[in-house]
Amino acid sequence: MRRTRTPHGRTTPAPPRPRSRTGKLTAAVLAGALTTAALVLASPRVEAAPAAERDPVLQTREVFSPDGSIRTVTVAGQTPAAPDARSRRAAAAATVEPVEVNGPSASKVDLVFVGDGYTSDQLGAYRSHVRSKTEELFAVEPFKSHRSLFNVWQVDVVSRETGVDDDPALGVRRDTALDMNYHCGGMARLLCVDEAKAAQYAAAAPQVDQVVALANSTTYGGAGGTVATAAGGNAQAGQIVVHELGHSLGGLADEYDSPGRHQGGEPPEPNVSVYPQATMSQYRLKWYRWLGRPTPDGGTVGTYEGAKYAATGIHRPSQNSIMRTLGREFNAPGRETMIAAFHRKAGLAAKAPTTRGASGGQVLGVLPQRPDGRRLAVTWQVDGRPYAHTGTTLDTSRLPAGSGARRITATVTDPTPDVRDPALRARDLTATLTWTVRR
């Protein structure tokens, strides 16, 4: 039996290696998926066709049915054209509107909307669609309680014609700025965009962490990837953005399954595992701290078989989270991962400008994030020793007498119970700021 060494030097059995078993997706299943009248969401998984063939690159796509359930299909990829001179000039002239600004971009997650198929007379509708999708995103936890960690921007992209290609029917053509189109890869509700052009326009925002392209359409559709897409005028399409941010910000795996058995070992994503509950609990793996506890998407956290595009041989933390079905909540391990990701992007605290106190000393300060309006814990040290002081500012004139340089540190911690992993808390929910003060 393999053995591993714990941090305390004790030797314990290592978890058993998962066994691999062959599993195939039948032609009948694939053909059925290809004819499904459902929404398709792009996946980052890409397979190249044999080099000897001149077929386009094949891409695995996620298919969302109207009830929110998801499956995968394989379609021919698209190669976007490089932005032309007209596009470059238009992007350079585009204006940026702040939708919601909660602080400097250096300490926030910046979400940038770009639009396609909106003429200059329709920017009011575009503005309304952006705000609708923004509110839909922040209605879902943990985005709701961490809204103050985000900035939202809209870039006013003006198209010559209204609407996007292949909408409302295949073959319809529009002269638009971002070349968005339905029927991408032959799938009716797969809504693709020229990602290079979308990124070019998005670059007008102060900073970009995630780009969302909205089509001027009410047809249910969207896609994921480097640029998430959604139908601006469809009230349900905003759930695509929530699901996609689970991937792009949190690094979460999909939790839905397809026929077949998982191939390979333990995946790197935090919300899927080859190990069943007993093994996970025994060896303290992945979400073991949450096992048996209630989860926001319903039921209790366990190890439920079927995840990451396989029906067997791999497990998810809950029965039905938003990484499995649109319209659901993140499960508890997923919510923990997302909160850590928010802070990893935005940071936990920043230094306040140093000022001069009434007694002539320097006043040092920290600016903690305020998730859900909560005050984060702040502790201070002087020359490596705890200093009995609370609050976000410290007046150095009140320090004990000393000579030479003094090293002052402030440690900010988010004690939220939604994060149980001490490694995540130490890495992403704790920040230490340091000053050197001479007296």
pLDDT given at position 16:
66
Contact 94, 84 (CB under 8 A): no
pLDDT given at position 417:
95
Q: Give the chain's largest Cα–Cα span.
A: 81
Task: Locate CATH 2.60.40 in the chain.
Answer: 347-438
Q: How far apart are CA 321 and CA 190, in angstroms?
A: 22
The CA–CA distances, whole Å, from 70 to 10, 62, 235, 296, 311 equal 44, 6, 19, 20, 13
- Is omega for the bond preceding 15 within 30 degrees of 0, making it cis? no
Bin 232: left if φ > 0, else alpha if -120 < ψ < 50, else beta. Answer: alpha
pLDDT category of residue 124 using cuts at 50, 70 and 90: very high
Residue type, 55: D
For 296, phi then psi, to 5°, come to -60, -25
Q: How far apart are CA 132 and CA 152, in angstroms?
A: 12
Neighbours of 72 (CB within 10 A): 20
Cross-strand bridge partners of residue 179:
none
Examine the pLDDT at 245 and tell me if it is beyond 50.
Answer: yes
Burial class (CB in 10 A: 0-12, 13-18, 19+), 1: exposed
DSSP state of 331: P
DSSP state of 107: G
Q: How far apart are CA 203 and CA 82, in angstroms?
A: 16
Domain 347-438 falls in which CATH fold?
Immunoglobulin-like (2.60.40)
SS (H, E, C) 200-233: HHHCCCCCCCEEEEEECCCCCCEECCCEEEEECC
What is the average pLDDT score of the chain? 84
Higher pLDDT, 5 or 242: 242
Architecture of domain 58-250: 3-Layer(aba) Sandwich (3.40)
User: Where in 82-197 does DSSP place strands (E)?
Assistant: 95-100, 109-116, 150-156
Higher pLDDT, 258 or 337: 337
Examine the pLDDT at 292 and tell me if it is beyond 90.
Answer: yes
Q: End-to-end CA distance of the chain, in Å?
A: 61
pLDDT over 90 percentage in the chain: 63
> Nearest CA to 340 among 409, 216, 429, 278?
429
Q: How far apart are CA 327 and CA 298, in angstroms?
A: 13
Residues in the chain: 439
pLDDT given at position 405:
85
pLDDT given at position 75:
62
pLDDT digits (tens, 9 = 90+) for 304-319: 999 999 999 999 999 9
Neighbours of 433 (CB within 10 A): 19
- Stretch among 127-141, 327-341, 382-396 having the lowest mean pLDDT: 382-396
> Nearest CA to 438 among 402, 385, 384?
402
pLDDT category of residue 77 using cuts at 50, 70 and 90: low
pLDDT digits (tens, 9 = 90+) for 27-65: 332 233 333 334 434 433 333 333 333 445 676 666 666
Q: How far apart are CA 349 and CA 244, in angstroms?
A: 27
Q: Match 């903690």 to its residue by tokens.
A: 368
> Nearest CA to 262 among 214, 316, 216, 224?
316
Higher pLDDT, 247 or 328: 328
Higher pLDDT, 385 or 91: 385
Cross-strand bridge partners of residue 12:
4
355-356 and 362-368 strand pairing: antiparallel
Contact 190, 61 (CB under 8 A): yes
Identify the three-state secondary structure at position 55.
coil
Torsion of CA 422, 425, 428, 432, to 10 degrees: -110
Examine the pLDDT at 177 and tell me if it is beyond 70.
Answer: yes
pLDDT given at position 2:
42
Report the predicted TM-score, pTM, of the whole model to 2 decimal places: 0.83
Neighbours of 70 (CB within 10 A): 23
Examine the pLDDT at 6 and tell me if it is beyond 60.
Answer: no
Higher pLDDT, 224 or 362: 362
Examine the pLDDT at 127 and tell me if it is beyond 80.
Answer: yes
Average pLDDT over residues 411-419: 96
CA 438 to mean position of chain CA atoms: 43
pLDDT given at position 38:
40
pLDDT category of residue 224 using cuts at 50, 70 and 90: confident
Task: Locate CATH 3.40.390.10 in the chain.
Answer: 58-250
pLDDT category of residue 324 using cuts at 50, 70 and 90: very high
- Stretch among 8-12, 147-151, 267-271 having the lowest mean pLDDT: 8-12
Cross-strand bridge partners of residue 64:
39, 70
